[in-house]
Copies of this chain bind each other. A is one copy, B any other.
């Protein structure tokens, strides 16, 4: 029941066709943690600058998140991201990015976290992902994300990381770029050839695809008109998936399929409003209701 996530904590400014928010709490580890704590407690390993607002810290403290691994680095600034979503909002455009503290040394895993059994390595430099893994005793399940820039510029390092993880959660463009395959099932199988036991491929409004040695399993997105801000959808998906897998203590294909339903529902809440506005207040009851809706929509006998 010990789930560790390492990833970014950011201060985001986001514009979508539905409005704009400035200097709000964001980052992969944050969205992940809000989704995963619906299932299990989360141990956070991340670094912020000493400009990190106390209000944001309190938002994190409001959940079952162990902040022992949250380093506040003196004299540094927190990661900032300014982005926008246009048209069908399927992809973010980065308007401005200040890596700040993320460009410095990675945060350390506190000794009290070393026994974590499940770990999610959100998108970052693949060498840093391995450094975190190396500080853990013997996780049962290690899953990583990645992105274009590492696939292109740090391919060898990323391949080394892939040899060490149990699973991968990436989006369709990343899966294609990583494997040079257009067909997503072929891309997923090519990822399995690189080491992982499963590949979950996120397709935004088009749902997701799981590829394991048992085959390929597709799932549509939760059908919704309420899409105000897709920021954090992918990390919320991963949070729902890993939270559920940790709670279940299993990682067979059937459990992975059910985890994908939880990830789908987690992201459906994340996109309903800007920043954490919706996920901050969503109750487990609402989550369960939406899981039932999705499962019933897909029941044909």
B221 close to A218 (CB less than 8 A): yes
> Is there contact, CB below 8 Å, between A185 and B223?
yes
Residues of B within 8 A of A88 (CB): 182
**Residue from B205, B206, B225, B298 in contact with A298 in the complex, judged by beta carbons closer than 8 Å:** B298
CA distance A184 to B205 in the complex (A): 10
The answer to whether B207 and A300 have CB atoms under 8 Å apart is no
Residue count of chain A within 8 Å CB distance of chain B? 33
Check B295 against A301 for contact (C-beta < 8 Å).
yes
A216 touches B206 (CB 8 A): no
Does A150 count as interface, using CB distance less than 8 angstroms?
Answer: no
Let me know if A261 is at the binding interface, CB within 8 A. Answer: yes
Kindly state the separation between the CA atoms of A182 and B264 in the bound complex, as whole angstroms: 20
| A290 → chain B closest CB, angstroms | 13
**What is the chain B residue whose CB lies nearest that of A224?**
B185
A300 to B210, CA, bound (A): 14
Q: Which of B203, B220, B227, B298 contacts A300 (CB 8 A)?
A: B298
Picked from B209, B223, B258, the residue with its CB within 8 Å of the CB of A218 is B223
Residue A287 interfacial (CB < 8 Å): no
Sample of 12 more A-B contacts, CB < 8 Å, known A87-B182, A217-B223, A218-B221: A88-B182, A185-B224, A203-B206, A206-B207, A207-B207, A207-B218, A209-B220, A215-B223, A219-B298, A258-B300, A298-B300, A299-B299
